[in-house]
């Protein structure tokens, strides 16, 4: 399946003859009969579980819009509200594009002008700190998510697009919005200044990213270790509130962290009680963001004692881990595996144990 987002429309196509169609469409170039390289701006995901957070909304929409049952090269596009795009004046870059403001306007506690000022100041601060780097062609859009407070789309491709969680506009102050804007701009600047391969042990908040972000975020400068856990990760406040409502207890002795693969092959995890309990767990996708958030729900000392167990209900394929482990052992186990998805989990979790 091919899904694309040009900043205006989302498109999805299911190709029965994928590789030939991808070549015809100019997405890949064959360098030999069996090898190909991706054109700039094209990302390839072997499995749904590997799709990066910033593409997940697009991908989930595309999965419904295009199916194997539809004929070759069927495309679908999102219809746009006539007021969906507007240009907003901005220092240094002339203007930026505001996308989907009509959807958030009614509930936002901040006006479009206030947002324009926040973005304009962020652009100015970044240029000063990062050697004149400017996000020319910037698009700012909005998303709804219980997780990411901000998203940077395909950083490094030169298409500067960031998205802000609608919750930021309804419930957070201007400083919080500014920090998310700076953070997402930093993702673009970091990948553009020193491009890198996204699959080999990729850590989005690497030391270079953090060193750049500290230059523009005064609050972070006072506490640089927080870089890894900044606001575009899962909103732990929301998780804590919903966990408390369900009565879930996060303590090492009262439950097991079960890791498995769902029938549709997604990695998943759940925190389940040992023995009879008033709380009922539910599966959630096992991503580096979720795994990190799960570990953070425990008191720091307790994290070392959390027992990770395999999902024995999955009989088709032996699931990781092969036997019960303590959380730090499980992290080491993931590191030992060659699979990039597991390494991303492990790399994120190591911070929790430091
Ligand atoms: Zn980030």
What separation in Å is there between the alpha carbon of 187 and the centre of ligand 1? 6
DSSP code string of 52-100: -HHHHHHHHHHHHHS-TTSPTT--EEPPPPTTSEEEEEETTTEEEEEES
CA of 180 to the centre of ligand 1 (A): 9
Quote the ligand 1 centre to 176 CA distance (angstroms): 14
Residues 173-191: what's their mean pLDDT? 91
- Residue 330 token pair: 């499980």
Res. 86: pLDDT tops 60: yes
**Nearest partner of 234 among 160, 315, 155, 296, judged by Cα:** 296
Strand partners, 294: none
Element (H, E) at 30: strand 28-30
Helix axes 236-246, 288-296, angle to 10 degrees: 60
ω into residue 31 within 30 of 0, thus cis? no
Q: Distance, CA 204 to ligand 1 centroid (Å)?
A: 6
Q: Among 141, 183, 184, which residue's Cα sits nearest to residue 163?
A: 141
- Considering the entire predicted model, what is its pTM? 0.50
% helix, strand, coil for the chain, step of 5? 40, 20, 40
| Cα(227) to centroid(ligand 1), Å | 8
- Mean pLDDT computed over every residue of the chain: 78
Provide the token pair at 189: 């600047």
Alpha helices in 137-198 (DSSP H): 166-171, 174-193
Q: Which residue has the tokens 């190591």?
A: 350
In the reported structure, the alpha carbon of residue 156 is separated from the centroid of ligand 1 by a whole-number distance in angstroms of 14
Which residue in the block uniquely carries the two structure tokens 């009879």?
Answer: 276
What spacing in Å lies between the alpha carbon of 264 and ligand 1's midpoint? 28
End-to-end Cα distance, the chain: 40
- Centre of ligand 1 to C-alpha 62, Å, is 24
Nearest to 7 by CA among 146, 140, 115: 140
Distance 231 CA to ligand 1 centre (A): 8
CA 51 to ligand 1 center in whole angstroms = 15
Separation of 205 CA from ligand 1 center, angstroms? Answer: 6
Cα 161 to Cα 220: distance, rounded to the nearest angstrom? 23
Radius of gyration over every alpha carbon of the chain, rounded to an integer in angstroms: 21
pLDDT attached to residue 34: 76
> Which residue from 344, 351, 309 is spatially nearest to 330, judged by alpha carbons?
309
Distance 89 CA to ligand 1 centre (A): 26
Q: Are 55 and 1 in contact, with CB atoms under 8 Å apart?
A: no
Task: Answer whether 220's CB lies under 8 Å from 226's CB.
Answer: yes
| Cα(293) to centroid(ligand 1), Å | 14
When pLDDT is cut at 50, 70 and 90, the band that residue 96 belongs to is very high
Tell me, in angstroms, the distance from the centre of ligand 1 to residue 147's CA.
12
Cα(209) to ligand 1 centroid in Å equals 9
CB 76 within 8 A of CB 66: yes
Per-residue confidence (pLDDT) for residue 58, from 0 to 100: 72
Q: Would you state the pLDDT for residue 124?
A: 97
Q: How far is the CA of 29 from the centre of ligand 1 (A)?
A: 31
Question: Any residues with CB less than 8 A from the CB of 279 and at least 6 apart, and which?
Answer: 246, 247, 248, 249, 273
Q: Is 259 helix (H, G, I), strand (E, B) or coil?
A: strand
pLDDT (0 to 100) of residue 29: 85
Token pair recorded at residue 35: 């090898």
Q: How far is the CA of 148 from the centre of ligand 1 (A)?
A: 9
Instruction: State the distance from the centre of ligand 1 to the C-alpha of 307, rounded, in angstroms.
Output: 29
164 C-alpha to ligand 1 centroid (Å): 12
Residue range 308-343, pLDDT digits in tens: 988 766 554 545 677 788 888 888 777 777 677 777
Which tens digits make up the pLDDT trace of 270-308?
898 888 777 788 788 888 888 888 888 888 778 888 899
- 139 alpha carbon – ligand 1 mean position (Å): 17
The pLDDT of 87-92, averaged and rounded, is: 93
If residue 18 lies in a helix (H) or strand (E), which one and from where to where?
A: helix 18-24
**If you measure from the C-alpha of residue 152 to the centroid of ligand 1, how many angstroms do you get, rounded to a whole number?**
8
- Backbone φ, ψ for residue 28 (5° rounding): -135, 160
- Distance (angstroms) between ligand 1 centre and the Cα of 149 equals 9
Confidence of residue 231 (pLDDT cuts 50, 70, 90): very low
Domain boundaries, the chain: 2-79, 85-228, 247-353
Per CATH, the number for 85-228 is: 3.30.2010.10
Question: 33 CA distance to ligand 1 centroid (A)?
Answer: 38
pLDDT band at 233 (very low <50, low <70, confident <90, very high): very low
- The Cα 84–Cα 79 span in angstroms is 10
Identify whether the C-beta of residue 295 lies closer than 8 Å to the C-beta of residue 286: no
The continuous run of DSSP H or E covering 308 comes out as: strand 307-310
* pLDDT number for residue 232: 46
């Amino acid at each position: 399946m091919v899904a694309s987002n040009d900043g205006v429309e989302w498109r999805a196509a299911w190709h029965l003859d994928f590789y030939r169609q991808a070549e015809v469409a100019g997405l890949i170039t064959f360098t030999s009969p069996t090898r190909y390289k991706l054109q700039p701006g094209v990302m390839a995901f072997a499995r749904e579980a590997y799709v990066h957070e910033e593409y997940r909304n697009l991908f989930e929409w595309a999965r419904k819009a295009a199916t194997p049952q539809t004929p070759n090269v069927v495309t679908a596009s999102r219809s746009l509200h006539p007021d969906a795009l507007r240009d907003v004046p901005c220092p240094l870059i002339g203007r930026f594009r505001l996308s989907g403001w009509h959807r958030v306007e009614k509930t936002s506690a901040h006006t479009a002008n206030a947002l324009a000022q926040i973005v304009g100041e962020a652009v100015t601060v970044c240029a000063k700190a990062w050697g004149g780097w400017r996000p020319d062609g910037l698009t700012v859009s909005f998303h709804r998510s219980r997780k990411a407070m901000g998203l940077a789309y395909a950083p490094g491709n030169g298409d500067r697009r960031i998205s802000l969680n609608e919750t930021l506009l309804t419930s957070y102050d201007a400083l919080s919005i500014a920090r998310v804007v700076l953070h997402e701009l930093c993702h673009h600047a970091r990948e553009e200044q020193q491009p890198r391969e996204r699959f080999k042990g990729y850590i989005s908040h690497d030391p270079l990213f953090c060193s750049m972000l500290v230059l523009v975020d005064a609050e972070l400068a006072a506490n640089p270790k927080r870089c890894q856990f900044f606001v575009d990760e899962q909103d732990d406040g929301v998780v804590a509130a919903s966990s408390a409502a369900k009565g879930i207890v996060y303590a090492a002795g009262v439950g097991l962290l079960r890791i498995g693969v769902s029938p549709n092959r997604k990695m998943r995890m759940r925190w389940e009680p040992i023995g009879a309990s008033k709380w009922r767990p539910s599966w959630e996708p096992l991503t580096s963001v979720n795994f990190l958030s799960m570990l953070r729900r425990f008191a720091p000392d307790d994290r070392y004692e959390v027992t990770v167990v395999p999902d024995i209900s999955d009989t088709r394929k032996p699931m990781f881990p092969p036997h019960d482990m303590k959380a730090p052992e499980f992290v080491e186990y993931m590191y030992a595996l060659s699979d990039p998805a597991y390494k991303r989990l492990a790399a994120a979790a190591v911070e929790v144990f430091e």
